Amino acid sequence: MRILLWHVHGSWTTSFVQGGHTYLLPTLPDGGPWGRGRAGRDWPDTVHEIPVARLAQSDVDVVVLQRPEELELTRTWLGRTPGLDVPAVYVEHNTPRGDVPDTRHPLGDRGDITLVHVTHANRLLWDNGRAPTTVIEHGIVDPGYRYTGELARAAVVTNEPVRRWRITGTDLYPAFAAAAPLDVFGMGLDGLAARTGLAPDRLTTLGDLDTQSLHTEMSRRRVYLHTTRWTSLGLSLLEAMHLGMPVVALATTEAPRAVPPDAGVVTADVDAAADAVRRLVADPALATETGKRAREAALENYDLSTFSRSWDALLTSTANEKGGRRP
């Protein structure tokens, strides 16, 4: 199939484009959120950048929408209406930001486009209205077992922790930094030390690394710490588990389901989570064994083949509807 989608979440798209179809990613001269194409990602040759001006002349079997604005962009750029004269699905990556649990999804008042949630928590928390819904859980391109845990430090992967603050649990960093030094990876880290008040020996920012370098550096840290309060799950948590890292996570949204008891510690008690970080950092043998259990769980529950099969089934059924259900 020929699938039109936008490059929105790089890690999720990395898994999605392994499915063996032809993937069309719009490009604009200035890139930006609506036309960044591959953005330098090392993706298969089946992923093609296509200038927006050429979309109207392109064959598209299914559109994979990920943001409300893409409904109008598809009408304008492709010249076809999603769910009416081109089959479409909508992937919801995010937890609702409104009056939970009463936040109506943007597609909740229409019944012609399947709403695909990436976690069961997402589907539960959104008011989906009359939109047909399903859940296709994450699948990860296995980076392989890389854990060394040679550094008695905790790895944190997050984007814009200063701006997002309580969403990413940045306000909790001092409690965790008292248990182990924190090494923070991601975008938008400027001003993090000043905002949290942590000294250089308790917090280090390492920036936005390429995927291979990030996985290598994460694996050198003794434990992975997931402080995000409000996210559907966080692919970095699943990547850490695939790498063989023990994890400590806040018990919010999908994390309790993703991390079994022998793979780490998941709790809403911040003091207990900090104690778990302290215990794992102090005991390399325990950390190594816990990380192995984390990898086993991740391979069983978030493998790429299951993810790709689920998507193939949905895309095939959607494309066969010859334009989608009517509202």
DSSP string, 136-162: ----B----------EEEEEEE-S-HH
Peptide bond into 256 cis (omega under 30): no
Residues 191 and 270 reside in one and the same domain: yes
Residues 179 and 294 reside in one and the same domain: yes
Identify whether 327 is part of a domain: no
Residues 160 and 279 reside in one and the same domain: yes
Identify whether 325 is part of a domain: no
Q: Which pLDDT score, from 0 to 100, does residue 322 have?
A: 56
Spatial strand order of the sheet with 247-250 comes to 203-207, 182-185, 151-157, 221-226, 247-250, 264-267
Q: Which pLDDT score, from 0 to 100, does residue 15 have?
A: 96
Residues 105 and 179 reside in one and the same domain: no
To the nearest whole number, what is the mean pLDDT of the chain? Answer: 95
The CA distance from 187 to 116, in Å, is 27
Identify whether 110 is part of a domain: yes
Instruction: List the domain range (segments joined by +) for residue 180.
Output: 151-301
| Per-residue pLDDT tens digits for 183-199 | 999 999 999 999 999 99
Identify whether 290 is part of a domain: yes
Q: Which pLDDT score, from 0 to 100, does residue 321 have?
A: 78
**Considering only CA atoms, which of 220, 302, 254 is closest in space to residue 95?**
254
Residues 194 and 124 reside in one and the same domain: no
Residues 219 and 286 reside in one and the same domain: yes
Residues 18 and 132 reside in one and the same domain: yes
Q: How many domains does the chain divide into? A: 2
Residues 200 and 241 reside in one and the same domain: yes
Tokens (6 digits) for 277? 């970080």
- Decide if pLDDT at 324 tops 50: no
Identify whether 28 is part of a domain: yes
Identify whether 159 is part of a domain: yes
Taking the whole predicted model, whether its pTM rises above 0.85 is answered as: yes
- Decide if pLDDT at 293 tops 60: yes
Q: Which pLDDT score, from 0 to 100, does residue 24 have?
A: 98
Q: Which pLDDT score, from 0 to 100, does residue 325 have?
A: 41
Mean pLDDT for 252-271 is 96
**Considering only CA atoms, which of 152, 153, 151, 171 is closest in space to residue 161?**
171
The CATH number given to whatever domain includes residue 247 is 3.40.50.2000
Residues 156 and 274 reside in one and the same domain: yes
Residues 82 and 94 reside in one and the same domain: yes
How far from the centroid of its chain's Cα atoms is residue 277's Cα? 23
Residues 83 and 164 reside in one and the same domain: no
Identify whether 326 is part of a domain: no
| Per-residue pLDDT tens digits for 195-237 | 999 999 999 999 999 999 999 999 999 999 999 999 999 899 9
Residues 235 and 113 reside in one and the same domain: no
C-alpha distances (whole Å) from 292 to each of 163, 165, 259, 295, 299 are 34, 31, 12, 5, 11
The CA distance from 274 to 225, in Å, is 9
